[in-house]
Structure 1
């Protein structure tokens, strides 16, 4: 199973930091969270400008987004093992350094392939910022202060999506798209200094063996599956890639049965709500991954908005999502997880499909209402899906289940971008125009999301504890 970091032994390197150093450490982790959250949202509004600069079509930049999310999905399970093997401070320092170098290479890219490779490098660093930062908080903050500390650094995950699209649009419009990556450099350099100064080293060398074979099999499964979808056609190559994906997944099963500490224990799937939640998450998040990619393209390429205006139009999504988080607990306590997820999934899917109505002359107030409804429902959907998937796992399986869940989340975002962009390409070729293609793409991803409501109907309501949503939301 993915390595669950051991409690640090008492030593000079693991002594609890004082209050000032602890506060500085929280700001370091906050900055890392913010860079990662910002980078996942700042890019989308810049895609048309990037495509024009590189001489590509905007939809051909799908791999730029997918390469980052897929790399994060592949490497996240190894983060805990790396921290125990080489030390929390050393790994977090390397994560920021790699992320900054990747950002510089992204800004320096002259071709699409160069940009994709640079995004992979950036994803290597980004994959460790969130889990290692959370681990640093867990190991160095007293138990009675842990919830408040985690709540503080989690704010970065809410602030990033609010500022990301607007900042990205403003930078593209006032300077150039290169600055959406270069903005990470000064933040990263300050972070590197602060990590060396304030972040405790942590224990090293105590990590048990890592399941590299299992990680390789599942990585091969995800990469080949994503490449098969990226081709967008049914031919010999896509069939071969799908075959390799299925074969690698099947090979993992006997490997996990034989290995003493497999990447993911098969016993995870004995918890029925974990299996249902994982499947529902994968299907539901495909639409949630496609919409942030498609909306800026719709705004700029079809409605004629500037990059900055396009970023402003995404503000209702982020703001409504942040506000609605406080609604999730009373709603789930009143209606239960199964009913809430079924109804809320329908709202999310219907709001996605409603974006098909956006066209030149569409009322601004209507657009803001649609975007706000989607943002609120989608935010509550994530909180409820997170809770329902993980709450039933035993203490032994919690770390493994959380790692697998994180992989599925990142994979679904990449699949959403691939499927959403592929639908626009297919429908554009079919109808010879992009306007109906975007409408049909939004309708399709909305229907895909609606299908996940059927999955959530299979939840075992008797095994769910509504009060647990407070911990995951």
Structure 2
């Protein structure tokens, strides 16, 4: 068994006397600064998630400056997604080889340099290259940041720490569009990228100051063939899913999905014959990890669709301004933040299985109610409904992202985070595609040239109906799954 070489830093890793246990199982007790570690990682991820959503509002203005048609700017979005698809699977192996702190700092640096290059871009071609560079940094930040947390926090503190980590993923897509509209209206679109610079520089320093550099002494051989096949498969699938809602590009979308599917099958055949495959399919043998991947992936269809459908419905269907829409949709972010202190107590009381089953139904129903919104609803009522929806959905992902690693050995942790993050990104993107397809189908069925309220309602109900299917998989968790993490078993134990 390969050991983990840990550098003791500021109480994040236990003192030398307890390192033997740390190498195999992680720290038995979290350091005093584990919440600070979670906040540092969350801040870096917040920078990335805001950037990934804030750009869309600026595309028409950027197209005018670059002298191209607005629809041609979509390649600036897809180049970022391509970098994520290609490099997320490699992130865990790279972190094992060079150290999680080293790779996380390098990821922040690449993201900041890419942001600076985007702000300085004078042509579409330069923007595409710059966005790809940003994407490489982003691909490393998501899974390696989670890996740093998993290796720095004891099991009993994992729910609390993970709830901080999930906040940027939930509030970034909500805050991005109104922030982008404000910047484009009152400043210049280049500031969309420049705002990343001070946060990135601060994050680079804090990571070096407070986070330990943990790496595998024997990281294993890099899976080059798997890297190519997984990158080709995921890249083609992401491009294909994005284009499938555009009728004019249906043939190209079908071809990309076909190529991606074939490459995916070839990767599965390749991974079966290789011990250190870049996306380790053997992880799915762990029942808790497998169920979390499946149920979490299905639920993320709703989470991916919501930031796409909701602002569009309010601006196109209701006729609200971007500013007014933004002040309402921010309720989801507030609900997500309010959840943070409740998750540990709820899981300790009910356990993961019961909480995931019942909360999953409530969270999905909350977003389904969004399909009933219309301009006659009071703003406060929509705000409260979205706040509650964000609260329950945030809890669901905190639980999924925590319990997933309950049965994973520490030496497999980096591969597990890369695997989980890859499917996370794929399913969030798929959620947008499913929402766009459902909206397009509803418009066609109702013979509407432009989307109306009933079309948006149908789209909301389609994506939530799909996510409701996660209940079947939530019921398959063992009753005592994650008991050591949640403390549910000890709380339920009879007193003597």
Instruction: Give TM-score, length-normalised by structure 2.
Output: 0.76
Cα separation, 1, equivalents of 2:369 and 2:162: 34
Q: Which moved more, 1:359-368 or 1:32-41?
A: 32-41
Per the alignment, residue 8 of structure 1 pairs with 5
Per the alignment, residue 431 of structure 1 pairs with 448
1:109 CA displacement: 4.9
- Contact 1:273-1:388 within 8 A present in 2 as well: yes
Per the alignment, residue 51 of structure 1 pairs with 60
List aligned pairs for 1:30-179, cutoff 5 A: 30=39, 33-41=42-50, 44=53, 47-51=56-60, 53-54=62-63, 67-69=79-81, 71-86=83-98, 91-109=103-121, 115-133=127-145, 154=165, 157=168, 161=172, 167-179=179-191
Cα separation, 1, equivalents of 2:400 and 2:162: 19
Q: Which moved more, 1:181-190 or 1:66-75?
A: 66-75
Per the alignment, residue 226 of structure 1 pairs with 238
Q: Which moved more, 1:73-82 or 1:407-416?
A: 73-82
Q: Does 1:414 align with 2:396?
A: no
Change in 2 beyond 3 A, CA 1:196/1:374: closer
1:147 CA displacement: 7.2
1:291 CA displacement: 0.7
Which one of 481, 487, 494 corresponds to residue 464 of structure 1?
481
1:375 CA displacement: 0.2
1:379 CA displacement: 0.5
Cα separation, 2, equivalents of 1:25 and 1:388: 19
Change in 2 beyond 3 A, CA 1:442/1:67: farther
Per the alignment, residue 181 of structure 1 pairs with 193
Uncovered stretches (5+) of structure 2, i.e. residues with no partner: 13-30, 489-496
1:219 CA displacement: 2.2
Cα separation, 1, equivalents of 2:369 and 2:156: 43
Per the alignment, residue 17 of structure 2 pairs with none
> Equivalent residue of 2:452, what SS?
helix
Cα separation, 1, equivalents of 2:411 and 2:96: 18
> Equivalent residue of 1:438, what SS?
helix
Aligned residues: CA RMSD: 4.2
Change in 2 beyond 3 A, CA 1:109/1:91: same
CA deviation vs aligned residue, 1:102-131 (integer Å, no higher than 9, x gap)? 213333456767655433321211222344
Cα separation, 1, equivalents of 2:85 and 2:57: 26
Change in 2 beyond 3 A, CA 1:287/1:106: farther
> Equivalent residue of 1:434, what SS?
coil
Q: Does 1:404 align with 2:419?
A: yes
- Contact 1:220-1:248 within 8 A present in 2 as well: yes
- Contact 1:75-1:124 within 8 A present in 2 as well: yes
Q: Does 1:328 align with 2:330?
A: no
- Contact 1:30-1:156 within 8 A present in 2 as well: no
Cα separation, 2, equivalents of 1:150 and 1:346: 24
- Contact 2:80-2:131 within 8 A present in 1 as well: yes
CA deviation vs aligned residue, 1:117-174 (integer Å, no higher than 9, x gap)? 43332121122234445666788x7989997996798497489648656644443443
Per the alignment, residue 283 of structure 1 pairs with 298
Cα separation, 1, equivalents of 2:398 and 2:91: 23
Change in 2 beyond 3 A, CA 1:248/1:435: same
- Contact 2:47-2:196 within 8 A present in 1 as well: no
1:284 CA displacement: 0.9
Which one of 419, 442, 457 corresponds to residue 460 of structure 2?
442
Change in 2 beyond 3 A, CA 1:470/1:71: farther
Uncovered stretches (5+) of structure 1, i.e. residues with no partner: none
Per the alignment, residue 373 of structure 2 pairs with 358
- Contact 2:229-2:263 within 8 A present in 1 as well: yes
- Contact 1:83-1:91 within 8 A present in 2 as well: yes
1:175 CA displacement: 1.7
- Contact 1:70-1:411 within 8 A present in 2 as well: no
Q: Which moved more, 1:268-277 or 1:460-469?
A: 460-469
Q: Does 1:380 align with 2:407?
A: no
Per the alignment, residue 491 of structure 2 pairs with none
